[in-house]
Structure 1
Amino acid sequence: MNQTVKLKVKPAHVKSLKAGYPLVKKEAILNWRDLKKEGTVIELVDEKGQFLGKGYYGLQNKGCGWVLTRNPKEEMNQPFFEKKLKVAIDARKSFFEDEETTAFRVFNGEGDGIGGLTIDFFDGYFLINWYSEGIYRFKEEIVQSLRTIAAFKGLYEKKRFAEKGAYIEDDDFIEGERASFPLIVKENGIHFAVYLNESAMVGVFLDQREVRKAIRDRYAEGKRVLNTFSYTGAFSIAAALGGAVKTTSVDVANRSKSKTIEQFSMNGIDYEAQDIIVEDVFNYFKYAVRKKLVFDLVILDPPSYARSKKNTFSAGKDYPDLLEKAIHITEKNGIIVASTNSSTFGMDKFKGFIKKAFHQAGAEYNILEEFRLPPDFKTIKSYKEGNYLKVVFIEKLT
């Protein structure tokens, strides 16, 4: 059994913890230096010694641990994890029954009661993401829980807790039957090739499922589409299947081209009829202005932070300027899909960025639709940062 350390919470942080805030931050703890080994069970108390919660010590970029239970008698053992996982998997029953979608999230960290842990389903395979060495110390209990409550072909994992949040390269396979890669999954009938045995990113971001469906079903027909920061081209695939005249995918990573070609091919789309460009998006915007290129639908989904040879981008600081660049190459009455996965600001501030960008560009706009995380990415009200995804469909009026 893991060692338990009692942590005293500073008065200023007691209220939020009592209200259900699950993240433990060093600045909230009086004696955080008592923490030596990740995976240590922690018991949080106020300065009078009254119990506040129990969880584990695990270093992430967000904090130093998570509260998992408000019951002082509950133990961090295999039955505990099994109960949490069963509730989460049972709640996704409709996803397991949907023949048109075979890739989705089955456990979403603190939203399902265990911060630092996510589990995704890919056509019979579970992929476990460990976000700290602390939660990884409970690997056997969690894997045993999956063996007990769920049927699967095989288990894979991603250890995402190296220094500075880097991904730890490893074999990634845990047990069961090894998948043949690429593993072909479906999302609302769209096919995607995924690789559970490569880097931390497997080929498609599952949290954008509803956005891709909207693009395919309601926005792409007859449109010239620009997909920036395109990764493996998932938005481009959705647009092409929705009847786009042509898609242009732009990403600075060399591998993006071959990956995007693969995704087009998986869906029977002639990739040679599309433009797939390996280029810094900021440079492409300059090129598009010089060549007087305009698009009817522009998808802007940058990472929260990105660095290239000449440009550095931080969503919290630079998004308005990036959006302004997109506005200038969007046709009148065209649509911009503005998206961010930054957890450092909310939807209201993001809409403020949109307002600022259009003001800078001297253009008018109308908000058509908004998207947050899909239902399989469960969140809790007491942890607003967990509902990180913000997507706004904007019509450029002038």
Structure 2
Amino acid sequence: MKPIQIKVKNSFIKKYQKNYPLISKDEIANPQVLKEEGAIVHLLEPNGNFIAKGYYGRQNKGLGWVLTSNLGEKIDVIFFKKKISAAFDKRKSFFQDEHTNAFRVFNGEGDGIGGITIDYFDGYYLINWYSEGAYTFKETVIRVLDDMGDYKAIYEKKRFDTKGKYINDDDFVKGERGEFPIIVQENGINYAIYLNDGAMVGIFLDQRDVRRAIRDKYASGKNVLNTFSYTGAFSVAAALGGAAKTTSVDLAKRSKSKTIEQFSVNGIDFETQDIIVMDVFDYFRYAKRKNLTFDMVVLDPPSFARSKKRTFRTAKDYPELIMDAIEISEKGGIIVASTNNASFGMKKFKGFIDKGFKQSNSKYQILEEFSLPEDFHVDRSYPQGNYLKVVVLKKMN
């Protein structure tokens, strides 16, 4: 099929000449020519000069991704093998790590092909497809993984539909179906993983360095509150780091059984920990009424969350979340503030934190900051790809 020619508006030509990977609708003069997802596109100057080539695949971020600035380079199995092999080579130290066998082996545009990520879980591959266009490369990607060597099985998550949501069908692709949960290791911590059970697998790999820091530096002897706790991964890390007690709070009913499981696979008696199914903001009010205080509070909310009572948007409501945490934190207590919202950077996030402390008439010290770990390779031309922002704070008064 002949590549589709799309014209870049004059004011954005230099941006794409500097290897910017995301094809955005506002920057294209003739987006109406894009019909079938997966089609190869040529980005051209208005005068017809070639800039780059990529593919058409709609996701919330844009219309597709640039793959190469080389006009003669074909987008074929050889291209995919080159990109995926290079990504695997960058992760050699992870493959050799005796204490970690769950990590990202291919990170979308950070490794040269936007819209596709591949995670590794102790011999199992999980491919995430973020658009119908990306999904058209399925057979090519699987062929490359076959060539890369042995694996137990390949699973996939189709994270797209007409509303950009996860498509829930059989996630198994090939190999031998796993007996789930599989127990993976991360810095010596066990986690139960499900590759066949909805959009989430049980752990967010991008928080690996934060979990290790909580275990190794901050948790010892502390009474820890983990909010928006999901499967309790931060709580497990804190408990293994010698926390006096952990309290995990999440609105989802499944969070309780999932958190019990994560404690259990690490030999921790879950009955010595508190696992609460409740709206986090209701829990803050409950804690204030009961005069409960904590030595560490972990805040890792979704970018957008809606319950029956309220809607939470990170970009608008994070200062209030910080204020809630301050109210139930001991003097000298630790607050781990985290967000995965890609729409703003670390500077703005620190502004939210600062606003929350100022409105609470409280002072703080920044102890440590985290962004994406080494295996989540980021394209320098696309800083928005480094979406994770974590700040470890000490409440001074």
Please give the range of the TM-score, normalised by the shorter of the 2 chains: over 0.9
**Structure 2 stretches lacking a partner, 5+ long:** none
Q: Does 1:119 align with 2:107?
A: no
Number of the residue aligned with 2:149? 150
Shift of 1:242: 0.4
Number of the residue aligned with 1:365? 364
Shift of 1:339: 0.3
**Structure 1 stretches lacking a partner, 5+ long:** none
1:254-286, CA deviations, whole angstroms, 9 ceiling, x for partnerless residues? 000000000000000000000000000010011
Q: Does 1:292 align with 2:291?
A: yes
1:69-122, CA deviations, whole angstroms, 9 ceiling, x for partnerless residues? 110011111111011000001110110011100100000000000000000000
Alignment of 1:61-72 (within 5 A): 61-72=60-71
Number of the residue aligned with 2:170? 171
Q: Does 1:306 align with 2:305?
A: yes
Deviates more, 1:312-321 or 1:222-231: 312-321
Separation of aligned partners in 2, 1:328 and 1:125: 43
Q: Does 1:267 align with 2:301?
A: no
**3-state SS of paired residue (2:59):** coil
Alignment of 1:18-97 (within 5 A): 18-97=17-96
> What percent of counterpart residues are identical?
63
What's the TM-score, normalizing by structure 1?
0.99
Separation of aligned partners in 2, 1:3 and 1:133: 19
Separation of aligned partners in 1, 2:105 and 2:62: 24
Number of the residue aligned with 1:4? 3
Number of the residue aligned with 1:197? 196
Shift of 1:3: 4.2
Shift of 1:151: 2.2
1:110-153, CA deviations, whole angstroms, 9 ceiling, x for partnerless residues? 00000000000000000000000001001111110111123211
Number of the residue aligned with 2:160? 161
1:340-384, CA deviations, whole angstroms, 9 ceiling, x for partnerless residues? 000000001111111100001110000000001000000022101
Number of the residue aligned with 2:136? 137
Shift of 1:50: 1.2
**3-state SS of paired residue (2:184):** strand
- Tell me which amino acid in the other structure corresponds to 1:310: K
Q: What is the alpha-carbon root mean square deviation over aligned residues?
A: 0.7
Number of the residue aligned with 1:338? 337
Q: Which runs of 4 or more aligned residues in structure 1 lie more than 4 Å from their structure 2 counterparts after TM superposition?
A: none
Separation of aligned partners in 1, 2:83 and 2:163: 29
**3-state SS of paired residue (1:175):** strand
Separation of aligned partners in 2, 1:12 and 1:52: 14
**3-state SS of paired residue (1:7):** strand
Number of the residue aligned with 1:347? 346
1:1-60, CA deviations, whole angstroms, 9 ceiling, x for partnerless residues? x44100000012112111111000111111110011000100001111111110100000
1:199-234, CA deviations, whole angstroms, 9 ceiling, x for partnerless residues? 111000000000000000010000000000000000
Number of the residue aligned with 1:281? 280
